[in-house]
Structure 1
Amino acid sequence: MNKQAEAFLLEPGLAWADYRRNARARVDEIAEAERLRDGARVGISRKHESAHLHVAGQATYIDDMPELAGTLHAALGLSPAAHGLIKSFAIEKIRALPGVVDVIVAADIPGTNDCGAIVHDDPILADGKVQFLGQPVFAVIATDRDLARRAAAQARHVLEIEPLPAHVTAAEAHAAQSYVLPPMHLVRGDAQAGIARAPHRLEGTIQLGGQEQFYLEGQISYAIPTENDGMHVYCSTQHPSEMQHLVAHALHVHSHHVHVECRRMGGGFGGKESQSGIFACIAAVAARKLDRPVKLRPDRDDDFMITGRRHGFDYRYEVGFDDEGRVLGCDIDMVSNAGFSTDLSGPVMTRALCHFDNAYWMPDVAIHGYSAKTNTQSNTAFRGFGGPQGAFASEVLMDSIARALGKDALEVRRANFYGIGERDVTPYLQRVTDNVIRKLTDELATRGDYEARRVAIDAFNATSPVLKKGMALTPVKFGISFNVKHFNQAGALVHVYADGTMLANHGGTEMGQGLNTKVAQVVAHELGVSFETVRATATDTTKVANTSATAASTGADLNGKAAQDAARQIKERLAAFAAQRHGGEAADVRFANDLVHVNGQQIPFPELTRAAYEDRVQLWSDGFYATPGLHWDRVKLQGRPFFYYAYGAALSEVVIDTLTGEWKLLRADVLHDAGRSLNPAVDIGQVEGAFIQGMGWLTMEELVWHPKTGLLMTHAPSTYKIPTANDCPPVFNVNLFDNENAEDSIHRSKAVGEPPLLLPFSVFLAIRDAVSAAGDHRVDPPLRAPATSEAILDAVDAVLSGVAEKDAS
């Protein structure tokens, strides 16, 4: 240990746990200071580049922009029926309302009436038929937003719709074999044979609900007509290039006519990857027809009613296992609620199938995926993109296997971990060559005092008839890359100005996750300058073209590499110029701490850039990166879809009240693999946020549709519960695992956006453990997710009834 940290241990007044924790923090601070002195700008904890603007309320979002003279406002008229034929529309009644300038319908769209991300089955405005309650049928354009909303709210009075049969749940659609895509099957070996030869067997069902993204900034687009058929669209979107293409198709113009810009979003979480398209298209169509700027910002209720969310999943499984809990065969059906259209349900299901294994080697498996077509909002991307839904099932199975054998669940998990040799191949035939899950899990179990706390919890439960405690430690293995190969590319521009300052632009979007901060750090590191020297600008389709969505946890991986490529080209030009001017070899020129070290001299960076400019050296460059080594067979569902894996584990302890169903997270210990983190402070913040968001999904964020009308009943903060600061555990220990990416990622870092969302499986399974304790662990709890108080009470009743039945027999 560093001597300064060793001395810190001797400070009085601290408990031993504080000694260890604070010593680690002090060592990290010392190490960072040393790296800064050596010229490093990555691997350093830096505040978010817009943090000072966020806290001061000065960060500009689209609705904060001053509106141009003549700006009109749009609001959407929504279908009052879940499924039906539009028989008539009294449009003149809407046109006659105060402030209304025009009413836009499907026939007003000059080009294609579609905003589907992959399959063209998602109309911008309903035409002839409605397919879910809340589907936009028309857009009111008015002089004032409130007047537009009042007029649009009359939809239920002016639309005559002939009802058609509707499927509200995925189970109904699955029973009717109604799907948005053909079923998918990922098979290795003979699952049924493996189950048949196993000494133990379980079968059952699992229910997992969906989740609303609940971004703080809602969907919004502001479309401004420009000369020569141009359209400038400010859009809160994770995918500006896709918005560009959708708007171009809707307006029946070329992509170069459409300019999409996004400086920042107030959250996205996947909800602004494809589903921002309908808002961009409607605003642009109205702006083109009226030749005036048009802003479309739905209120929170309409946002809920129109947009989709995380896919809920239903599972049916059979699993065979041996006396140690090792899985010998598993056959599982995964049925997702896709909603009325395809959207991104195909790649979401693909990722779910490819993450069912999570951290476990399974020799014989058959994983079947069904994307059920229902008359509800079209579900879409959400942080994790199907990965959490796939891995959730395997974690519940490991928990149930352990209970069936009377073993500790962590023991069963360890017995199934990926290993070496034949035990390192996934069901889709990618080898797990960077496996650190056993080492990481063992380290967390030690840090979290797993064994001692398990004994203490059992002792507590033995003397507590009403309150029951539970604990669970769950691992994560998460593949990083887009399912679709051509999305794994990025571009960037870096400009170095004559005064030595620089501007970076890239194809990623900033939604609060710190992407611009990390890209600026990469550029500063490459050119050896201070953080403040680099400024990141708005994502803009006129600067970097053909960008991929900022999704799949690839934002820093792709755009960081592209920005590094651009900065490196500039550095090479500057190094050649410096060697030519001051002697020595270009290869020996070093850039660090705002100085250029050349042939024994130290030249201030701004002095060199000024001289280079005057000598006509190019001081800007574009950069490009494409992830290497990826291949995927969509038919066989085999290949290498992921560049690498990110790992993690979480240990959670809860207490439940068996009389009320109330529960509380008492403590959470998290250890996450971010590789060689570009910015530890930002990455730890991402892990903390993902943990709480995932916990909300699995415990309290319940979506409810009316079984007959198809109305989403939980369509506002008053009826949809998300976690608050009060739901954070009083003890929350989050650390980054000391590891280096085996692949050549940006500075050997690893993605940290999506993987940690799987960590709160430990919270759900800790609740399940506590419910099980109500019956002395004799009955496997049928606990559904989200584990609301009602769900917990139902599970407790089922456990106690099961114990009574066993005793009676």
Structure 2
Amino acid sequence: MNSKSEAFMTIGAAKGWAEVGQNHPHESAILHVLGEATYTDDIPEAQGTLHAALGTSPKAHARIISMNLDPVRAMPGVVDVLTYKDIPGTNDCGPIIHDDPILAEEKVEYVGQPMFVVIAKTHDQARHAARKAEIQWEELPAILTPEAARDAQSFVVPPMRLERGNAAEAFKKSKNFLKGTLHVGGQEQFYLEGQISYALPKEGNGMHVYCSTQHPTEMQHVVAHALHYPSHAVQVECRRMGGGFGGKESQSALWAACAAVAAAKLRKPVKLRADRDDDMMVTGKRHCFYYEYEIGYDDNGLITAAKVEMVSRAGFSADLSAPVATRAVCHFDNTYYLSDVDIRAMAGKTNTQSNTAFRGFGGPQGAICIEYIVDEIARNLGMDQLDVRKVNFYGRNDEEGRNVTQYGQKVKDNVIHELVAQLEADSNYRERRKAVDAFNATSPVLKKGLAITPVKFGIAFNVTHFNQAGALVHIYTDGSVLVNHGGTEMGQGINTKVCQVVAHELGIPLAKVRASATDTSKVANTSATAASTGADLNGKAAQDAAATLNKRLREFAAKTYNVPPEDIVFAAGIVYAGEVTTTFADLVAAAYLARVQLWSDGFYATPGLSWDRASMTGNPFGYYAYGASVSEVIVDTLTGEWKLLDVNALYDAGNSLNPAIDVGQVEGAFIQGMGWLTTEELWWNKSGKLMTHAPSTYKIPAVSDCPDNFNIRLFKNRNPFDSIHRSKAVGEPPLLLPFSVFLAIRNAVSSVGDHKVNPPLRAPATSEAILDAVEAVKAKVSA
């Protein structure tokens, strides 16, 4: 080890070596392709495993007069049937407010609400038996829409209001006015892997729960409370999810609790796996929103006053509706400075599924409204939409007065001017606008539409104390490294990025680092993998742990080779110590013999965050991510059919940790957001039953819906905030990019009336919605 060996690269090259910023494939990519990646349902079942299914309500709002479960118990293979009376601890799985029972007690509040759990020898036996209950009801009035909830003053949390300036006075001084309404629908997460939990009782009243969840710590708390166990008796583990998108942040709790309660009572392993129909009927979705807005503006399109009331369909319980509404309020501005605003938000209590987190978490619902409004202002003034957007942009970073948000946070990192200018030039926006207008002038039925929309998205949890993370890094004596952190892998590549960070910090190839399953017995008290903070928080925590190990090994090498610690370089698995080179593995082996500690914990808490819930002011975000997109569509005005022809998008990922993964995330977010705004329609019938509860009735985008030209690029930028390697989040912000698709469709419809009428286009812009908007434009033109 002490002998002089030939260096693999020069010292200069070694100092420039990096594992971050490289296009590494997803760490489980090969396993995904080969079908060898282990998901919760793939875990080999322990001997005696039983299977559970939920008995759900067929009524939207009713009191349970009687419930005869004997026919259920009499079904073949049934071992037991549990109700809320069998829960030894707390019958609640609400993440914030305790208003969400695991199993219904005296009444039900939506079609699909779980009332009992059937445990049988097989999955199919449990599902068939769950349908045999005999129940007598007293039906109660049901509230199904946000508007009805507002009119009835039915809310899950008190209404919110944020004011800046004096909107009433600003309206009096405004030269032009508009007012209107907008409906934006919700969205099913439609993760490929449904909700599932597998609970195995352990010795001494312990419980091990394998759960497909974005928040293992919350699952630990819910299970512990339901069983009346201390938290240390409950271990929750998640190696990976087949998608989450927010749907497994809080709502995996019901499935974990039911499986654990059954396992604890029967002292047998119990698996609860949701069928797709049951999953969609039971679980909450993205909140739909209804807006009423009034806007004042001048002849240049500058917004001088804004008033908006937004009402969401929260569902029957609070879940995460309050923070979703808060984020919607904080993102109403998007990229625009609003001097005088009055923003009100209400979370309507309805007799529908309790809506929950979904990628963007209220941010898209807040920003879509202002984009719809700006589009309307441009049409009213006969201006190009891009010019109106530019007039309203936040000022540049050195421009005082127009760089403070409505909630009081200064925008210090604004790159929207440069980013949009680059996209405008690269996409030939102005020339394409002329070409679209020329096409429409000679095409009476098929109409093209073009739109460009920007994005500004705040990164951090609304609740300050969630912005923390922990990690463990172990170096083994052969030089291989294992990292465990509190984030969960749902396909987004968090484990790949965290492993890259650790590899970079230790100066070893990525292949030498492995991430283990997220586990509450390893890193405790973790936050959810949500709010686009997964790589930011857990990457920083892992970096902290790896930096400690780097320092220990550096000091050991300095002492061993009599070289100053600052002159030692770790790169590509080689240690450069003056005239001596050795392998990282050999250095580690020697360090072990010298009793150097080869594992460390790490921790990170995002600095500078604050939020006053009462005044709705503070600094809730560490930084902002920016982006913009240009979309071109063609619409058949006789059928409402449309096609996305072309997309150019530019996204600010800062110093990307992994450009290949980040571009993939932007592409996926774009298509998912496009689905929300165009094809994914949730529809409840008059009885409150969700009728779009399967792939046969709920239309997610397919490969054929992707444009032939799908040009996604990353904007060259360095995060001024001290994020992990100055990168930026890519989970949620890109979902706002397809606003341009929705507004391009509106632009095409607008051409039917020579852009003299603002089409009342609702989202999702299904063929029916498009035809309704076309007919409304024609009617107004001919009036």
The TM-score normalised by the length of structure 1 is: 0.95
SS at match of 1:590: strand
Give 1:190 deviation, angstroms: 1.2
Structure 1 gaps of 5+ residues are: 1-33
8 Å contact kept, 1:37–1:593 = no
Q: Is 2:119 the counterpart of 1:148?
A: no
| Counterpart Cα distance in 2 of 1:182 and 1:320 | 28
| Counterpart Cα distance in 2 of 1:703 and 1:83 | 19
| Counterpart Cα distance in 2 of 1:733 and 1:605 | 41
Aligned to 1:64: 42
8 Å contact kept, 2:502–2:513 = yes
Q: Deviations over 1:312-354 (max 9, x none)?
A: 0000000000000000001100000000000000000000000
SS at match of 1:112: coil
8 Å contact kept, 1:502–1:534 = yes
Aligned to 1:180: 156
Give 1:93 deviation, angstroms: 1.4
Aligned to 1:775: 753
SS at match of 1:774: helix
Structure 1 residue corresponding to 2:478, chosen from 499, 522, 526: 499
8 Å contact kept, 1:192–1:330 = no
Q: Is 2:24 the counterpart of 1:46?
A: yes
Listed as ranges, the matches of 1:8-27 within 5 Å are none
Structure 1 residue corresponding to 2:199, chosen from 223, 229, 246: 223
Aligned to 1:651: 630
Aligned to 1:336: 312
| Counterpart Cα distance in 2 of 1:794 and 1:774 | 13
8 Å contact kept, 1:651–1:762 = yes
Structure 1 residue corresponding to 2:169, chosen from 180, 193, 202: 193
Aligned to 2:72: 94
| Counterpart Cα distance in 2 of 1:106 and 1:766 | 50
Q: Is 2:532 the counterpart of 1:553?
A: yes
Q: Is 2:352 the counterpart of 1:376?
A: yes
| Counterpart Cα distance in 1 of 2:537 and 2:415 | 23
Structure 1 residue corresponding to 2:738, chosen from 747, 751, 760: 760
SS at match of 1:777: coil
Give 1:38 deviation, angstroms: 3.4
SS at match of 2:51: strand
SS at match of 2:753: coil
| Counterpart Cα distance in 1 of 2:727 and 2:13 | 16
Q: Is 2:721 the counterpart of 1:747?
A: no
| Counterpart Cα distance in 1 of 2:532 and 2:307 | 29
Q: Is 2:710 the counterpart of 1:732?
A: yes
Listed as ranges, the matches of 1:574-593 within 5 Å are 574-593=553-572
Classify 1:315/1:35 alpha carbon distance in 2 versus 1 (closer, same or farther; 3 Å): farther
8 Å contact kept, 1:195–1:318 = no
Give 1:35 deviation, angstroms: 8.4
SS at match of 2:456: strand
Give 1:36 deviation, angstroms: 9.0
| Counterpart Cα distance in 2 of 1:350 and 1:59 | 37
Structure 1 residue corresponding to 2:643, chosen from 650, 664, 667: 664
SS at match of 1:597: strand
8 Å contact kept, 1:402–1:408 = yes
| Counterpart Cα distance in 2 of 1:61 and 1:602 | 42
Give 1:154 deviation, angstroms: 2.2
| Counterpart Cα distance in 1 of 2:208 and 2:742 | 46
The TM-score normalised by the length of structure 2 is: 0.98
Report the residue type matching 1:731 in the other structure: N
Q: Is 2:450 the counterpart of 1:474?
A: no
Structure 2 residue corresponding to 1:789, chosen from 760, 767, 777: 767
Q: Deviations over 1:277-334 (max 9, x none)?
A: 0000000000000000000001000000000000000000000000000000011000
| Counterpart Cα distance in 2 of 1:244 and 1:533 | 31
Listed as ranges, the matches of 1:368-447 within 5 Å are 368-419=344-395, 420-447=399-426
Q: Is 2:328 the counterpart of 1:359?
A: no
Aligned to 1:618: 597
Aligned to 2:4: none
Give 1:183 deviation, angstroms: 0.3
Indicate the percent of aligned positions where both proteins have the same amino acid: 65
Classify 1:264/1:383 alpha carbon distance in 2 versus 1 (closer, same or farther; 3 Å): same
| Counterpart Cα distance in 2 of 1:338 and 1:146 | 32
Aligned to 2:503: 524
Give 1:398 deviation, angstroms: 0.2
Give 1:196 deviation, angstroms: 1.9
Aligned to 1:251: 227
| Counterpart Cα distance in 2 of 1:370 and 1:216 | 32
Report the residue type matching 2:604 in the other structure: Y
Report the residue type matching 1:146 in the other structure: D
Q: Deviations over 1:130-149 (max 9, x none)?
A: 00010000000001110000
| Counterpart Cα distance in 2 of 1:621 and 1:35 | 29
8 Å contact kept, 1:45–1:680 = yes
Which segment drifts farther, 223-232 or 188-197? Answer: 188-197
| Counterpart Cα distance in 2 of 1:447 and 1:534 | 39
Report the residue type matching 1:702 in the other structure: E
Listed as ranges, the matches of 1:118-157 within 5 Å are 118-155=96-133
| Counterpart Cα distance in 2 of 1:714 and 1:706 | 10
SS at match of 1:422: coil
8 Å contact kept, 2:197–2:212 = yes
Q: Is 2:658 the counterpart of 1:679?
A: yes
Structure 2 residue corresponding to 1:533, chosen from 508, 512, 525: 512
Q: Which runs of 4+ in 1 moved over 6 A?
A: 34-37
Give 1:599 deviation, angstroms: 2.5
Listed as ranges, the matches of 1:795-806 within 5 Å are 795-805=773-783
8 Å contact kept, 2:497–2:657 = yes
How many residues get paired? 769
Give 1:586 deviation, angstroms: 1.6
8 Å contact kept, 2:312–2:346 = yes
| Counterpart Cα distance in 2 of 1:96 and 1:381 | 39
8 Å contact kept, 2:183–2:762 = yes
Q: Is 2:488 the counterpart of 1:509?
A: yes
Structure 2 residue corresponding to 1:205, chosen from 172, 177, 181: 181
Give 1:548 deviation, angstroms: 0.3
8 Å contact kept, 2:199–2:263 = yes
Structure 2 gaps of 5+ residues are: 1-11
| Counterpart Cα distance in 2 of 1:689 and 1:340 | 31
Aligned to 1:345: 321
8 Å contact kept, 1:672–1:735 = yes
| Counterpart Cα distance in 1 of 2:624 and 2:591 | 43
Classify 1:107/1:35 alpha carbon distance in 2 versus 1 (closer, same or farther; 3 Å): farther
8 Å contact kept, 1:584–1:598 = yes
8 Å contact kept, 2:210–2:236 = yes
Report the residue type matching 1:547 in the other structure: T
Report the residue type matching 2:542 in the other structure: A
Classify 1:602/1:118 alpha carbon distance in 2 versus 1 (closer, same or farther; 3 Å): same
Q: Deviations over 1:617-673 (max 9, x none)?
A: 000000000000001100000000000000000000000000000000000000000
Aligned to 1:160: 136
Aligned to 1:7: none
Give 1:37 deviation, angstroms: 9.1
Aligned to 2:257: 281
* RMSD over aligned Cα atoms: 0.9
Give 1:588 deviation, angstroms: 2.1
Aligned to 1:109: 87
| Counterpart Cα distance in 2 of 1:37 and 1:183 | 55
